């Protein structure tokens, strides 16, 4: 169970479809022997797009699961888990 | 033209195929309404795998294009360009 | 007003004193004409130490201000602000 | 031995003096019980300033040591070392 509504899911799935396309684009650039610097620009574009997806999921997690747990005072572990996930995300 | 040999290309294409699978996995997890923290772990795995692809392309670029340009003393722009690409990469 | 208790403040101030020392160490290495790669290692050490300070402040912010605001259902802006701060932190 | 000229050294030392001031500023904000989000903004400012120092040192290293080693074809280890330093820098 997560806290994504159907509008958010659709938006994330659209973004992820574009990222798949970007990753496939990197493969094609390698096969076509394109210049490394251009390949790196495409790799960076995909990484940044994935970061945005991650931030949107994190947003929804905090607005949903974390908020609910805190309001119901059942937040024994959820903040600990949130902090671990933020730490990983900033690596 | 880049400096990837056929062995390096094959390895990168294998990695990129796995990353495409990871991105598709994120989509599936969203469709299946999986827990946000697990989705974020998968997003991070894909981002880290893309970073490794980027470092390998950068490695090959430095060992190839940059080295050749410097040895032939035709490095007017290539170092400037390299520094810009490293800066982007560290964002 | 923040949510750091006196024990957390002391620990953060100790860390920050060490980081000041690391930054001063970078200056000294530059003055002493030390090898760039060694200077970069010291710069990275200071950056990582600052990141840890940031994560500890974020931890305390979430455990304190955010938790309190959510429990009192006064979280109009605090989650928005938290998300912006996490986004900056992951740049 | 590094490749920083006296102008570059002066500029880096000025930047590092400002960063020391920023770190001291974080300590002061903690002592004065300032709001966590404002403390985090100051931590981020110091981290970004340190990153710029690192990029400038890396720039000088590539323009100086790496270029010289490549031109003199004595680059057995210097590229390996450069790649390791870039990898650390992107963590």
Between the CA of residue D51 and those of B25, C86, D7, what are the distances in Å?
A: 34, 18, 19
Q: Which residues in C lie closer than 8 A to residue A82 (C-beta atoms)?
A: 62
Q: Where are the beta strands (DSSP E) in chain D?
A: none
pLDDT band at D76 (very low <50, low <70, confident <90, very high): low
Measured distance CA(D12)–CA(D54) in Å, rounded: 10
> What is the SS3 assignment for B62?
helix
Name the closest residue on chain C to residue A81, using Cα atoms: C59
Residues ≥6 apart with Cβ < 8 Å to B33: A1, A2, A4
Tens-digit pLDDT profile for residues C3-46:
788 999 999 999 999 999 999 999 999 999 999 999 999 999 99
Pairwise CB contact (< 8 Å): D54 & C47: yes
Closest C-alpha to A40, from B4, D86, B55, D16: B55
Nearest CB neighbour to C63, from listed A63, A79, A90: A79
DSSP state of B91: -
Closest-CA distance, A74 to chain B, in angstroms, reads 17
**C5 Cβ contact partners less than 8 Å away, ≥ 6 residues apart:** none
pLDDT in tens, A50-73: 999 999 999 888 888 888 887 777
- Tens-place pLDDT, residues A44-55: 999 999 999 999
The pTM for the full model equals 0.87
Contact assignment for D70 to B73 by CB distance below 8 Å: no
CB contact under 8 A, C47 and D43: no
Best B56, B57, B85 member to test A by mutation, with max A CBs in 10 Å, is B57
Give the residue from A54, A55, A61, A70 with the most C CB atoms within 10 Å of its CB, the best one to mutate. A70
Q: Inter-chain contact A58–C82, Cβ cutoff 8 Å?
A: no
Distance from CA of B76 to the nearest CA of A (A): 16
Q: List chains adjacent to chain C, taking adjacency as at least 3 C-beta pairs closer than 8 Å.
A: A, D
A5 three-state secondary structure: coil
pLDDT at D23 over 70: yes
Q: Could you read off the pLDDT of A12-42 as tens digits, one per residue?
A: 999 999 999 999 999 999 999 999 999 999 9
| pLDDT digits 0-9 by tens, B7-62 | 999 999 999 999 999 999 999 999 999 999 999 999 999 999 999 999 999 988 88
* Alpha carbon of residue C82 to chain centroid: 15
**pLDDT grade for B81, boundaries at 50, 70 and 90:** confident
Tokens of D86: 């870039």
Start-to-end CA distance of chain B, whole Å, equals 26
d(Cα C68, Cα A30) in Å, to the nearest integer? 52
So what's the pLDDT on residue C62?
86
Query: Is residue B69 within 8 Å of A62, Cβ to Cβ?
Result: no
Substitution target from A37, A85, A89 for chain B, most B beta carbons within 10 A: A37
DSSP 8-state symbol, C35: -
Contact A83, C89 (CB under 8 A): no
CA–CA separation, B84 and D55 (whole Å): 10
| B26 membership: H or E segment, kind and range | helix B6-31
With 0-12 / 13-18 / 19 or more C-beta atoms within 10 angstroms meaning exposed / middle / buried, residue C55 is: middle
Angle D36-61/D78-89 helices, nearest 10 degrees?
170
Which residues of chain D make contact with C64, given a CB cutoff of 8 A?
A: 36
CB A15 within 8 A of CB A52: yes
Q: In B, which residues are within 8 Å of D79 by CB distance?
A: 62-63, 67
**What pLDDT does residue C78 have?**
83
Could you tell me which residue, C41 or C80, shows the higher pLDDT? C41
The H or E element spanning position C34 is none
Tell me which residue in B63, B73, B87 faces D79 most closely, judged by beta carbons: B63
How large is the average pLDDT for residues C45-60?
A: 93
**pLDDT at position D65:** 82
Residue B64 to residues A36, B24, C31: CA-CA distances in angstroms? Answer: 10, 33, 34
Which residues in A lie closer than 8 A to residue C59 (C-beta atoms)? 83
pLDDT tens track for D33-69 = 999 999 999 999 999 999 999 999 998 888 888 888 8
């Amino acid at each position: 169970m997560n806290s994504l509504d159907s509008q958010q899911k659709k938006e994330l799935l659209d973004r992820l479809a574009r990222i798949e396309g970007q990753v496939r684009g990197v493969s094609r650039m390698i096969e076509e022997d394109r210049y490394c610097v251009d390949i790196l620009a495409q790799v960076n574009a995909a990484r940044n797009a994935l970061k945005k997806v991650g931030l949107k999921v994190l947003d929804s997690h905090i607005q949903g699961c974390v908020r609910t747990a805190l309001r119901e005072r059942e937040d024994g572990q959820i903040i600990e888990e949130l902090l671990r996930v933020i730490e990983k995300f900033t690596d």
